[in-house]
Amino acid sequence: MAQPPARPKLRERYDERQQQVIDACARAFAQRGYHGTSIDDLIAATGLARGGLYHYIGSKQGALTRILEDLMAPLLEDASAVVDGPDAAPAAEQRLRSLVRVWMRHVEQHQAHVRVFQQERHTIEADPGWDDVRRDRDAFSALLTRVLRDGAASGEFAIDDPALSALALQGMVNHAATWFDPAGRLSADQVADGFCDLVVRGIDGSEPGAV
């Protein structure tokens, strides 16, 4: 991958074009699978010549790395803000709903990225080059589990295994990337609240109110 331009205006244009290329690669990987996508497929998806493609992504694996980093790092940052930031809600249910709403908005904005993340789980686990992605993923899972554990400790949630509940939510939200339609009848926030309602109703047996 070429060195980005040093001049601010040129760098801004370079970054914008590179992001477009990465997003196109994500859509190609989501459709064909990482291993089923050739460099020629990426050339067709991006509209670049071979040299131009390598200029922006460096390699096919470089594109995959950037796709997953673009997904996990901002998600962790936004989730941390609603759970631990100065404006975080005191009640665990409010924090859970805020976290899942942020999460579903990321799914809406990065559907192809999430699908690639799901498809390439085994690659991420096996390769030592994915340490940063694994660290962010594990930190996000720990954050979600902590909110559920806090709710259990405060009596808001009657759950025996917060880690298992976290896995259930991860399955629901991440799978939404395969079916969610931004133009459909439910918004990302409505889907998030629906997922939380499923968890909360199963936890305390009462009618949860939208927060």
Q: What is the pLDDT of residues 130-165, one digit of tens each?
A: 788 889 999 999 999 999 999 999 988 878 889 999
Confidence of residue 1 (pLDDT cuts 50, 70, 90): low
The more confidently predicted of residues 111 and 5 is 111
- Tell me which fold the domain 1-58 belongs to: Arc Repressor Mutant, subunit A (1.10.10)
As a whole-number percent, the residues of the chain with pLDDT over 90 amount to 70
State the pTM of this model: 0.84
The more confidently predicted of residues 209 and 95 is 95
What is the C-alpha to C-alpha distance for residues 177 and 179, in angstroms, rounded to an integer?
A: 6
The more confidently predicted of residues 206 and 149 is 149
State yes or no: pLDDT of 97 exceeds 90.
yes
State yes or no: pLDDT of 210 exceeds 50.
no
What is the C-alpha to C-alpha distance for residues 53 and 60, in angstroms, rounded to an integer?
A: 9
Domain spans of the chain, in order of start: 1-58, 65-204
User: CATH for 65-204?
Assistant: 1.10.357.10
pLDDT of residue 4: 66
Instruction: Write phi, then psi, for 186 (nearest 5 degrees).
Output: -115, 135
Nearest to 95 by CA among 156, 165, 164: 156
Neighbours of 169 (CB within 10 A): 23
| Contact of 30 with 119, CB cutoff 8 Å | yes
Q: What is the pLDDT of residues 159-190, one digit of tens each?
A: 888 999 999 999 999 999 999 999 999 999 99
Neighbours of 143 (CB within 10 A): 18
